[in-house]
Amino acid sequence: MPDNSAIVLFTAKSADRIIREGGTSSWRLDRNNARRCTYAVCVRNAHADWGDGNEQHHDAFLVGKVSAVVPTGATPDNNESPKDRYLIVFSEYAHVAVPDSWPKGYRNPVRYSTLEEIGIDPAKLEWKPMPEATEGPSDEDETPAPAAKGGIEALTIIQAKKGLALTFGVSPEAVEIVIRG
């Protein structure tokens, strides 16, 4: 892939949230293709009801230099294995404001392109080093845990993974939970 190769992602997450998580997360993608990209471009999906960003729909708002593509784990509403979803880790990031960066009618939230095709010149960007992640990748559709029973509070899978990761000094992505009926 060319040096300005980019994975372009249609997301409702804000730039602040992406930076706190260390990159953009919970993507179903071909890991090998994503790792070959030099950049990741986040484009606003303003129509999702769970989003926390405020840019215009279809506008590119954040570019990251891809340093790794790692599994993020299963979402709470399905049984996917941790290898089904990925976090694209950034080493550096830059804010951009590029209108109409998403092709009309394109339904897959992941596509491959180049910065040139999107209208971004990486030499003109103000790159900032990515800070240490302050929270783990989260799934957009995380639901609250069920009510407590018998004095014990119920947990979501994500809450359990975060708690166990803290207890054992590993990342939440390294925790696997198996539930047998």
pTM exceeding 0.85: no
Structure-token pair, residue 171: 């990342």
Same domain, yes or no: 46 and 91: yes
Which residues constitute the domain of residue 115?
A: 5-129
Same domain, yes or no: 35 and 112: yes
Same domain, yes or no: 15 and 65: yes
User: What pLDDT does 76 receive?
Assistant: 45
pLDDT along the chain (181 residues), means of 10: 88 94 92 95 91 91 95 55 79 97 92 96 96 69 46 67 72 78 65
The Cα 58–Cα 177 span in angstroms is 36
Same domain, yes or no: 25 and 98: yes
Side chain identity at 162, as an amino acid letter? K
Structure-token pair, residue 134: 């302050």
Strand pairing class (5-11; 39-44): parallel
C-alpha R_g of the chain: 17
Q: Is residue 155 part of a domain?
A: yes
Same domain, yes or no: 107 and 151: no
Same domain, yes or no: 125 and 151: no
Same domain, yes or no: 117 and 171: no
Q: Is residue 92 part of a domain?
A: yes
Total domains in the chain come to 2
Q: Which residues pair with 42 in a beta bridge?
A: 9, 62
Q: Is residue 137 part of a domain?
A: no
Q: Is residue 164 part of a domain?
A: yes
